[in-house]
Structures are given as C-alpha cells and as structure tokens.
C-alpha cells in the first residue's frame, strides 16, 4: 500500500504552475497521479506525445482549447482526457488559479517540466 500526503510530496515547477507528483514511474503502477496548480492568467501550449493525460478540475476555473480553437470551460467537476495526444492550450482564468488532479499513462518519471514557447507545443 502506498500512502502519501500533499505536504510530503515535493512540488515541481512545470513552467506556468506547480505539480505534486503523488505516483510516478518508480512506484511501478504504470500510471501517475498529480495535483497540479495552473497559475492565474497563464496560457500554456502543450502536447503530450508520450503520455495519455486525463485531468479532473477540483478548484478554480479556466479552459482547455483544442488546436482548431474549440474551447471547453473548466470548472470544478469537469474532466477532460487527451486520449489522442492532442495539442492544446491550458488556460487559467485571470482571477484565480486552476487546480487539477491529473493521471498520466505511462507514468511520469516525476521531474518533467515544460519548455513553454508560444510557437511550439511543450511535450514530455
């Protein structure tokens, strides 16, 4: 059994926020679970080429925007899944942080951080 508390999990600055990686590759489960904060007012161009990511919004607000411009509002209780490795923008509202619980398959190593660039999607 694995038991971890938020205050005991180191935070990784991934570029426009912080991510606490509760479960990572060395745990041997094949998936990761993170508690991720996206800083208010930020916009991140992302694409997970090596992972499928599912995110569940637990606090704050923002939106996930598909490559074709289709925007999906994010508020507590909404889940989105990048099941086709879709390039996207993750946007936190200007007035509050966005907080997500995220699942990655295969598992993250745990120290990954984005290289944010407005002209290219960051990937890991």
The model's pLDDT over 4-56, given as tens digits with 9 standing for 90+, comes to 999 999 899 888 999 999 999 999 999 999 999 999 999 999 988 889 999 99
User: Residue 93 above 80 pLDDT?
Assistant: yes
Give residue-wise pLDDT tens across range 55-91: 999 999 999 999 999 999 999 999 999 999 899 999 9
- Name which of 14, 97, 4, 87 is nearest 53 in CA terms: 87
Q: Return the beta strands (E) in 11-59 as ranges.
A: 11-13, 17-23, 32-38, 43-46, 52-59
pTM of the full structure: 0.90
């Amino acid at each position: 059994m694995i038991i971890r508390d938020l205050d005991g999990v180191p935070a990784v600055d991934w570029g426009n926020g912080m991510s606490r990686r509760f479960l990572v590759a060395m745990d041997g489960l094949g998936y990761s679970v993170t508690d991720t904060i996206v800083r208010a007012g930020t916009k991140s161009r992302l694409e997970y080429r090596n992972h499928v990511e599912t995110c569940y919004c637990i606090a704050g607000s923002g939106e996930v925007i598909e490559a074709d411009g289709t925007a999906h509002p994010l508020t507590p209780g909404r889940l989105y899944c990048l099941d086709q490795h879709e390039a996207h923008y993750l946007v936190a509202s200007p007035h509050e942080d966005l907080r997500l619980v995220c699942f990655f398959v295969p598992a993250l190593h745990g120290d990954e951080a984005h290289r944010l660039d407005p002209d290219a999607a960051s990937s890991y």
